[in-house]
Amino acid sequence: MKRPRTKSEKQARLQRILDILDELYPNVTCALHHSNAWELLVATILSAQCTDERVNKVTPGLFRKYPTIRDFAAVKPEVLAQDIRSTGFFNNKAKSVVGAAKTLLRDFNGEIPRDIDKLLTVPGAARKTANVVLGTAFGIASGVVVDTHVTRISNRLDLTREDNAVKIERDLIDILPKEKWIAFSHQIIHFGRETCVARKPRCANCRMSELCYAEDKQA
């Protein structure tokens, strides 16, 4: 496809991308299973360098064993690490989860803060995690979640030319309507798993093909 040059051409192309995502994934939501904001925070911490599928296998038993924030705050990190071992980087993740539980109890009465600056003070809640929790649990558009799928596909679709998550998020915030911030990431993640996969994108079956001029586009 010929690259759009004018602002109106770029906006029209972006709108078409958003329309296709809405058609493909109209009711998409976070793939991590959870029943409340705390469980989502834990699941998101565990999802770092791990598949959502693996996390969803671990968390049901984990939340039965530790049903409340106080239970997580009371467990020793080295004990929790064994419960989450299969998610990888389990020692660091255990410290983050226990630290998050203690911080929430001490500073926020055991509640997940609905302000991103406050949430970022919680161990394990870096910006990506905070955006996931605020967007999915509370419907608060605090920013755009940038994971490996969003990084890869946003570059392939020329929505950014950055490889740093903070800069990518800034670029996406600049061009996306705020009402799309939450859904966009979930839609792109599903699109990245089903069609625009990392090694061999399925371009022949891609609804975005006419809008894409990625260097690794498959014939």
Catalytic positions, written as ranges: 128, 147
Q: What is the DSSP string of 97-116?
A: HHHHHHHHHHHSTT---SSH
Contacts (Cβ under 8 Å, ≥6 apart) of 217: 156, 201, 203, 209
Measured CA to CA, the distance from residue 14 to residue 175 in angstroms comes to 8
Identify whether the C-beta of residue 117 lies closer than 8 Å to the C-beta of residue 107: no
Measured CA to CA, the distance from residue 163 to residue 134 in angstroms comes to 24
Identify whether the C-beta of residue 103 lies closer than 8 Å to the C-beta of residue 113: no
Ramachandran category for residue 24: left, alpha or beta (phi over 0 → left; psi -120 to 50 → alpha): alpha
Identify whether the C-beta of residue 188 lies closer than 8 Å to the C-beta of residue 149: yes
Query: Which residue reads 């509640």 in tokens?
Result: 111
Please give the C-alpha separations between residue 43 and each of 30, 32, 88, in angstroms, as whole numbers.
Answer: 11, 7, 13
Residue 8 CA, chain-centre distance (Å), reads 29
